[in-house]
Amino acid sequence: MIEKYLDLHSEVKHAIANNLAVVALESTIISHGMPYPQNKETALQVEEIIRNNGAVPATIALINGKIKVGLSIDEIDYLGKSGSKIVKASRRDLPYLLSQKIDGATTVASTMIAANLAGIRVFATGGIGGVHRGASQTFDISADLQELANTNVAVVCAGIKAILDLELTLEYLETYGVPVLGYQTNELPAFYTQKSGFNVNYKMDNAKAIAQLLKTKWNLGLKGGVIIANPIPKDKQLDYECMTDAIEEALIQEKQLAIKGKESTPFLLSKVKELTGGSSLQANIELVYNNAKLAAEIARAYATLKKL
């Protein structure tokens, strides 16, 4: 039945059938993350990095009533040119968009769903969503967290988006049993910087050890994802104080404009980009490249373990 909605690119289908390394990629970063043609160029470069590190990229989007797992260059170009005209699609949006054949760009949550349906266990993104600041009043909590609690996909990211409440997000993840691993670090990276002031659950030093943990978790029947927090390279990170000031100003403007829900994160990221003179966008691109490389290494290690 699921085949009716799932459309696997031939390269991805071959890789899955032959237990080769595959890395899922979201498409919201293409349509909502940056302007054209930078979004297209970045997406293609991320795919190239994954290929250069021994895995097959599978960028995911909703196109013409199908969940496309693995996109052509033309399809990536279409998402890039269309930009915010493409609907940002999370879990709740999938039935409507697919039934109405409305195109959608996948978030972390919906990318995890699609990857799981296709049998892909590793996903690379920028940063995950979480508990928004002020959530005790607004109850604004990203659907990413419930997906991490329930869907067996490992998410390689540069931590939780720094615009969010990191402490409450970590508490939420703990409640739902989602391990937060630090790649070669004990400190949770804060998206644009390596510094957050919070600890990860476990420091992991290499891709093989991470793959062994993933296999063990899922072999035990412990459902849900794993966060692999991969710090942005030191020479690419933003100044911590500069980042903090920009986020605080963006939050003030968000409140003044009464922006809420799914529009909140795009607004805050765009405003931080403006307030940092564009340096936050460049940092975002660099951390995605860094995550793609690590995700490919983990996917390769996991594929090898599955054969044993």
pLDDT digits (tens, 9 = 90+) for 234-289: 999 998 888 888 888 988 898 888 887 777 878 888 888 888 888 988 999 999 99
pLDDT digits (tens, 9 = 90+) for 100-143: 999 999 999 999 999 999 999 999 999 999 998 888 788 889 99
12-26, 252-266, 292-306: the lowest-pLDDT one: 252-266
Q: Given this model, what pLDDT does residue 159 score?
A: 96
- Mean pLDDT over 209-233 rounds to 98
- Mean pLDDT over 289-301 rounds to 98
- Mean pLDDT over 76-96 rounds to 97
Q: Given this model, what pLDDT does residue 134 score?
A: 83
Q: Given this model, what pLDDT does residue 33 score?
A: 85
Which of 26, 47, 75, 147 is flagged as catalytic? 26
Q: Given this model, what pLDDT does residue 2 score?
A: 86
pLDDT at 197 over 90: yes
Q: What is the pTM of this model?
A: 0.95
Q: Given this model, what pLDDT does residue 265 score?
A: 78
- Mean pLDDT over 63-87 rounds to 97
- Mean pLDDT over 204-230 rounds to 98
Q: Given this model, what pLDDT does residue 263 score?
A: 79
**Nearest residue to 74 via CA among 6, 4, 9:** 9
d(CA 127, CA 214): 20
Dihedral sign (CA 121, 57, 157, 253): negative
pLDDT at 307 over 80: no
- Mean pLDDT over 286-293 rounds to 97
25 contacts 46 by C-beta, under 8 angstroms: yes
Structure tokens at 229: 């927090």
Dihedral sign (CA 171, 122, 152, 260): positive
Q: Given this model, what pLDDT does residue 154 score?
A: 98
Domains in the chain and their CATH numbers? 2-307 (3.40.1790.10)
- Single-letter code of the amino acid located at 209: A
In this prediction, residue 209 has a pLDDT band, given cuts at 50, 70 and 90, of very high
Structure tokens at 84: 């915010």
Q: Given this model, what pLDDT does residue 200 score?
A: 98
39-43, 204-208, 237-241: the lowest-pLDDT one: 237-241
Which of 40, 68, 88, 161 is flagged as catalytic? 161
275 contacts 267 by C-beta, under 8 angstroms: no
**Nearest residue to 154 via CA among 115, 102, 205, 204:** 115
Q: Given this model, what pLDDT does residue 271 score?
A: 85
Catalytic residue flag (residue 161): yes
